[in-house]
């Protein structure tokens, strides 16, 4: 059976980058609520009678999309995957409990990055809409002028929304880290190393535990 991997960390900690590496190395599926929701930002959820009628209205404010919407997405995706790396979920304790009813996990990784570093990474982050590749205005720009010209910023990577996403993370998701820590499953990785160094640690942790 392919491994069941959970990757935790604040927005900007490098979960997407390391998930891509994991997919390539271990042949599992990348299940990510952020991408799934971005692809369904305009989905009509008015029948649920919640505060807003689409996921996008929560996302652009940096708030969490309600659990009933997100749980459903994850349940379906995990059902269809053999092995997986789950990224962006669970983001609160209720989601963590729901997840433990859906499946078991072989490895729980936590990418640890300081708050000011997160803000710098996220506000400078740029996306190539054609390839999905991620760049940074200071640390990592593409050489190709044509690629540079077409880079865009994610709508929720503005400083104001980034601060709110980090606040929401500290309030809702830090308890999730403690939850897995208490269960004794959490593998803490220094996320402030270079991407290659982080990958070395991630890869060894999976090889030792899956």
Catalytic residues: 15, 91, 125, 154, 165
CA terminus-to-terminus distance, the chain: 10
Cα–Cα distance measured from residue 17 to residue 21, given in angstroms and rounded to the nearest whole number: 7
Provide the token pair at 119.
Answer: 């803000």
The three-state secondary structure class of 107 is: strand
Q: Closest distance between ligand AMP and the C-beta of residue 172, in Å?
A: 8
Stretch touching ligand AMP by CB under 6 A, among 23-31, 58-66, 143-151, 195-203: 58-66
Q: Closest distance between ligand AMP and the C-beta of residue 143, in Å?
A: 27
CB closer to ligand AMP, 64 vs 118: 64
Residue found under tokens 């996320």: 191
Binding to ligand AMP, residues 9-38 (CB under 6 A) = 11, 33-34, 37
Cα–Cα distance measured from residue 143 to residue 131, given in angstroms and rounded to the nearest whole number: 15
Do the bridges between strand 186-190 and strand 4-9 make them parallel or antiparallel, or are there none, so unpaired? unpaired
Provide the token pair at 202.
Answer: 């991630």
Does 179 participate in binding ligand AMP (rule CB under 6 A)?
Answer: no
Does 88 participate in binding ligand AMP (rule CB under 6 A)?
Answer: yes
CB closer to ligand AMP, 156 vs 201: 156
Site string for ligand AMP, 96-135 (x = CB under 6 A): ----------------------------------------
Cα–Cα distance measured from residue 167 to residue 159, given in angstroms and rounded to the nearest whole number: 12
CB within 8 Å of 207: residues ≥ 6 apart = none
Of 45, 58, 77, 191, the one binding ligand AMP (CB under 6 A) is 58
| Footprint of ligand AMP (CB under 6 A) | 11, 33-34, 37, 58-59, 62-65, 70, 88-89, 91, 95, 156, 165
């Amino acid at each position: 059976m392919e491994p069941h991997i959970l990757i935790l960390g604040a927005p900007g900690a490098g979960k997407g980058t390391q998930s891509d590496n994991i997919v390539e190395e271990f042949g599992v599926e990348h299940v990510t609520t952020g991408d799934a929701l971005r692809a369904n930002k305009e989905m009509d959820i008015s029948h649920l009678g919640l505060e807003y009628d689409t996921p996008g209205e929560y996302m652009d404010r940096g708030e969490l999309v309600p659990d009933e919407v997100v749980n459903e997405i994850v349940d379906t995706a995990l059902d269809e995957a053999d092995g997986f790396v789950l990224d962006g979920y669970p983001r609160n304790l209720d989601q963590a409990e729901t997840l433990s009813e859906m499946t078991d996990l072989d490895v729980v990784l936590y990418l640890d990055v300081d708050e000011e570093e997160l803000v710098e990474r996220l506000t400078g982050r740029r996306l190539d809409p054609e390839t999905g590749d991620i760049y940074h205005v200071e640390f990592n720009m593409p050489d190709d002028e044509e690629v540079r010209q077409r880079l865009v910023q994610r709508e929720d990577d503005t400083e104001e929304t980034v601060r709110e996403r980090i606040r929401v993370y500290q309030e809702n998701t830090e308890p999730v880290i403690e939850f897995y820590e208490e269960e004794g499953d959490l593998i803490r990785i220094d996320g402030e190393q270079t991407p290659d160094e982080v990958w070395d640690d991630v890869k060894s942790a999976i090889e030792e535990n899956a």
